[in-house]
């Protein structure tokens, strides 16, 4: 189910280390060892983060001879974007309706002004 995958994706991205890994993979494929370099954690700890990202569908690993590079599965972000966009549109529509109501209320509160006749005009 889509919602289950969304839950896994958002849960996976809740961790700052995993968000950092995703950001690094957005620049290109990398091995677990390369992904572990900027962190003060073991390669095994990064492997566990990669497993969570893989289970969420955000990352895949391939085998290239002795290397097992990690690859970011960007299409998952399309799923997230569609979900977020749906709720963003709904919120935007509510704000637009509220703006219209507030503008109407403001118009109703404005006193009607009568214009004074200018010099030379008949009153």
User: What string of pLDDT tens digits covers the 123 residues of the chain?
Assistant: 456 889 999 999 999 999 999 999 999 999 999 999 999 999 999 999 999 999 999 999 988 777 889 999 989 999 899 999 999 999 999 999 999 889 888 888 776 565 666 676 665
Alpha carbons 24 and 61: distance in angstroms, whole number: 15
- pLDDT score of 111: 67
Q: Which DSSP state fits 70? A: E
- pLDDT score of 43: 92
Residue 89 token pair: 């549109």
- pLDDT score of 3: 61
- pLDDT score of 107: 83
Give burial (CB, 10 Å; 0-12/13-18/19+) of 17.
middle
- pLDDT score of 42: 92
Alpha carbons 17 and 2: distance in angstroms, whole number: 25
Residue 120 token pair: 């030379």
Domains, the chain, ranges and CATH?
2-74 (1.10.10.10)
């Amino acid at each position: 189910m889509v919602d289950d995958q969304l839950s896994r994706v958002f849960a996976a991205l809740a961790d700052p280390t995993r968000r950092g890994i995703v950001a690094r993979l957005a620049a290109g494929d990398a091995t677990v060892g390369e992904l572990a370099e900027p962190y003060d954690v073991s390669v095994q700890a990064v492997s566990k983060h990669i497993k969570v990202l893989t289970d969420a569908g955000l990352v895949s690993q391939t085998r290239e001879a002795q290397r097992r590079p990690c690859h970011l599965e960007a299409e998952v972000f399309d799923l997230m974007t569609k979900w977020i966009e749906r709720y963003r549109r709904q919120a935007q529509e509510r704000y637009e309706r509220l703006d219209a109501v507030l503008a109407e209320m403001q118009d109703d509160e404005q006193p009607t002004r009568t214009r004074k006749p200018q010099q030379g005009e008949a009153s």
